[in-house]
Amino acid sequence: MSDTITAAVTDKTAPTPAARAAHDASTREASAIAMQGLHKRFGRDTVALAGVDLAIRAGEFFTLLGPSGCGKTTLLRILAGLEEADDGRLLIGGRDVTDVPPHRRSVNTVFQSYALFPHLSVRENLDFGLKMRGVAPAERKARVARIAEFIQLGDLVERRVDQLSGGQRQRIALARALVCEPDVLLLDEPLSALDAGLRSQLQVELLRVQKRLGMTFVFVTHDQDEAMVMSDRIAVLNGGLIQQVGPPREVYEHPVNAFVARFMGHDNLYPVTGRCGDRLTTPLGELTAEAAGSGALLLIRPETLDLLPGDGAGTNHLPARVVERLYRGSHAEYRLAVGESTLQATVNNRGRHLPEVGDRVTVTVAPEDLVTLSE
């Protein structure tokens, strides 16, 4: 199964520059996409991109993550050529495509609304890009058949688009883009219209496809969980600027600023009011941190906390009271009062005693789990 499409990608007879580039080892090393100082404004006052520099590696699953209005979709549309940057340069596969129109870019998009042509059958939809590129009919037929098998569309190919379910449409939109074997595949929140179960199933499927093909995927989402599951690297955007670029673990565990931390779901952020060597003064009390950096905010991840019954003393032992407990089966989420402050903690359910609301407990955290970040 996995060989069929790889064969298609590296097919020597494929006339597209995309196919040639894909099996060229030297381009594989180089960055697939380079963005240099991209600016974009809508109207007079709406700044969508305020200077974006970013390099995406070949074969990478790269995610643009951010809240709505952060510029991630605009960036994707500039990559696709559907939007023109006001300023800056864009290179794809080493070629400057800043002024190249979308129909001459070896880039394909999976749209949020799927954008399947209603007047065509599934097969004709899959065939559309190849036909427009002028690929020979026999090869078109073979490639459509291969992609249909690869995405497991089965007998759907003769259906009309309006007879398909959301999940089926999503897969056909993906197949329609993949069959063109682009240098880069762009995905604009492709899973956001699906319900949760189907969504996680398709997340896995999408990831497998990407790994098998080794194609560069640029994925846009506002869901940090989805971003962490899927990505090799994540770029977090806000206000038209890139806040942080890195692998999911780095972005989650070492966010560079308060925005990234909050966006990744962290609530335990406390100002550092005093500092003496490794000793930090915070509203929670004195805490010892190891190699936590010199930022002005302290981040405590809820899953690094341990709850001990009763009062205890020692390094990074804080007296606390349980204010709220959400029992989740595999774990429990706590809201604790520490002095005047509140602290979130997640405790794995290993069959041990789970403190109740109102209990007095001692919270502990290891010094190496504490990080600081800038405002």
Q: Give the interface segment with other proteins, choosing from 67-75, 123-131, 241-249, 338-346 (CB under 8 A).
A: 123-131
Site for other proteins in 37-66 (CB under 8 A): 39, 41, 51
Q: Give the residue, chosen from 117, 136, 339, 360, that forms a contact with other proteins under the rule CB under 8 A.
A: 117
One-letter amino acid identity for 299?
Answer: L
Q: Is 241 in the site for other proteins (CB under 8 A)?
A: no
Of 106 and 238, the one with the shorter C-beta distance to other proteins is 106
Q: Give the residue, chosen from 63, 73, 108, 170, that forms a contact with other proteins under the rule CB under 8 A.
A: 108
364 neighbors 306 (Cβ within 8 angstroms): yes
| Distance (Å, whole) CA 352 – CA 210 | 41
Q: Give the residue, chosen from 12, 13, 25, 104, that forms a contact with other proteins under the rule CB under 8 A.
A: 104
Q: Give the residue, chosen from 20, 36, 89, 102, that forms a contact with other proteins under the rule CB under 8 A.
A: 102
Q: Is 109 in the site for other proteins (CB under 8 A)?
A: yes
Q: What torsion, rounded to 10 degrees, do the Cα atoms 286, 292, 298, 300 define? A: -90
Q: What torsion, rounded to 10 degrees, do the Cα atoms 27, 32, 38, 42 define? A: 140
Give min distance, CB of 189 to other proteins, in A: 12
Q: Give the residue, chosen from 29, 87, 368, 375, that forms a contact with other proteins under the rule CB under 8 A.
A: 87
Helix H segments across the chain?
2-10, 17-22, 25-29, 72-80, 122-133, 137-150, 166-178, 196-213, 224-230, 248-253, 258-263
| Distance (Å, whole) CA 340 – CA 158 | 65
Q: Give the interface segment with other proteins, choosing from 7-15, 105-113, 323-331, 350-358 (CB under 8 A).
A: 105-113
Site residue total, other proteins (CB under 8 A):
34
339 neighbors 346 (Cβ within 8 angstroms): no
Q: Give the residue, chosen from 12, 68, 118, 313, that forms a contact with other proteins under the rule CB under 8 A.
A: 118
Q: Is 111 in the site for other proteins (CB under 8 A)?
A: yes
Give the distance, in angstroms, between the CA of residue 123 and the centroid of all CA atoms in the same chain.
30
| Distance (Å, whole) CA 29 – CA 60 | 11
Q: What torsion, rounded to 10 degrees, do the Cα atoms 233, 238, 239, 244 define? A: -50
Q: Give the interface segment with other proteins, choosing from 173-181, 210-218, 262-270, 314-322 (CB under 8 A).
A: 173-181
| Distance (Å, whole) CA 102 – CA 290 | 50
Q: Is 93 in the site for other proteins (CB under 8 A)?
A: no
Q: Is 80 in the site for other proteins (CB under 8 A)?
A: yes
Give min distance, CB of 259 to other proteins, in A: 23
Q: Give the interface segment with other proteins, choosing from 115-123, 195-203, 234-242, 247-255 (CB under 8 A).
A: 115-123
Of 88 and 214, the one with the shorter C-beta distance to other proteins is 88
**DSSP conformation class of 70:** S
SS3 278: coil
Report which of 52, 35, 77, 264 is spatially closest to residue 189, judged by C-alpha positions: 77
Q: Give the interface segment with other proteins, choosing from 118-126, 146-154, 213-221, 274-282 (CB under 8 A).
A: 118-126
Q: Give the interface segment with other proteins, choosing from 126-134, 148-156, 216-224, 278-286 (CB under 8 A).
A: 126-134
Q: Is 132 in the site for other proteins (CB under 8 A)?
A: yes
Give min distance, CB of 353 to other proteins, in A: 54
Which of 272-294 are b and which e, b meaning 16 or more Cβ less than 10 Å from the residue's Cβ? beeeeeeebebebeebebeebee
Q: Is 84 in the site for other proteins (CB under 8 A)?
A: yes
Q: Is 68 in the site for other proteins (CB under 8 A)?
A: no
Report which of 355, 91, 94, 108 is spatially closest to residue 215, judged by C-alpha positions: 108
Give min distance, CB of 242 to other proteins, in A: 17
Q: Which residues contact other proteins (rule: CB under 8 A)? A: 39, 41, 51, 80-82, 84-87, 101-104, 107-109, 111-113, 115-120, 128-129, 131-133, 176-177, 180
